[in-house]
Amino acid sequence: MRILIAGAGIAGMTLAALLERRGLDVKVIERASNFEHAGYMLGLWPLGYRVLHGLGLYEDFADLSIPANYYAVRDNHGELIHQWSMDPISSRFGPNLSCTRPQLVKLLHSALCETHVHFDTTLTNARQYEHHVEATMSDGTSEAFDLLVGADGAHSRVRELFFGEQPKFDTGWGGWVWWADRRSVPAKTYVEHWGIGRFLGAYPTTDGVGVFAGAPVGDRFEKDGSGRQERVRARMANMGELAHRLMQSMPDDETKLFFWRLNDVRSNEWTRGRVVLLGDAAASLLPTAGIGASMAMESAAVLADELGRTDVHYLEHALSLFVKRRRKRVEDVQSDSRRLARAMFIESPTLGRLRDLATRFYSLEGLAGSIAKAFDQPI
């Protein structure tokens, strides 16, 4: 079986590493030039990093990560609403481990021996036939594959070519992302300020604290260049001492920063013939639940499992089983991520006060809904 994986992100690299161990012929293409700018911070639950045990990478991953032992939510003015211990989940299943996306992708890449990642390469066109997929790439080459895997993210070229426009969910919010000093927040603690018309989150890693400053898109909040730092600091003013420290770390207007628009996509189809979507290409997750990377790795493991139980003649049936095992689970978690977004991103002072009051009485499991249930469900 010859497989082309479009996208060398978390889903694509996890799948490539697992398939190589099964002896399959895999080619990976990636639009970026390298892994150095592969993203910012992420939290990985045992749902995802269980896969690393099978790849012999868990100990290395634990060494480069920080356990997130607490999750603290503060209000519009920085007062603590609730701080949850992660222990009810971590004591049963394992801790939430915080790292950077480049750290995780590079670690997965280290598991590859025979599979080569072709950087600066995109899929320009693809055509499906009865027994193969003909893929044309930006380097001018054209090759035949038994399977094409679209692991190329929320703006998937594979999805565009074979499935067309798919339903999207837009929060209407977005935010700037940068790095702050690790001493900016309490050790081993995720901190979020659920404001009114504003949101500020801080997530520690070994490389520093990832900061996300969000607000409704519009009113020039997302405008880059001159005045950016002043506008964002003004929006986050009077949120308390911790928020003030984080805002002081925001780079100047000349520094290139990433603006993250908070929307997702849910594809109506995941597979068609010898083409399958994986990870964010199939159903991207908002960062509100911090579970996107875990879901991507879990999905890659299930797809590798199904591909390891078939041959090229019954490939389409194996893909249908993959969808049956994964789609509901992923879409349930995606729905919970949207529900959390509606709670986190509020513009009404009245609704904000009601939310803050209710949040004081939520358990961590109650807050996370089906995400918490997923820990104890087979895949």
Per-residue pLDDT tens digits for 61-90: 999 999 999 999 999 999 999 999 999 888
Kindly state the average pLDDT of the residues 209-234. 94
Q: Pairing relation of β-strands 2-6 and 147-150? A: parallel
DSSP 8-state code for residue 28: E
pTM: 0.95
CATH fold of 2-168+263-374: FAD/NAD(P)-binding domain (3.50.50)
CB-based contact 93:210 (threshold 8 Å): no
CB-based contact 301:280 (threshold 8 Å): no
Q: Is the pLDDT of residue 368 over 70?
A: no
With residue 109 as reference, give the H or E element that holds it.
Answer: helix 101-110
pLDDT > 70: percent of the chain: 99
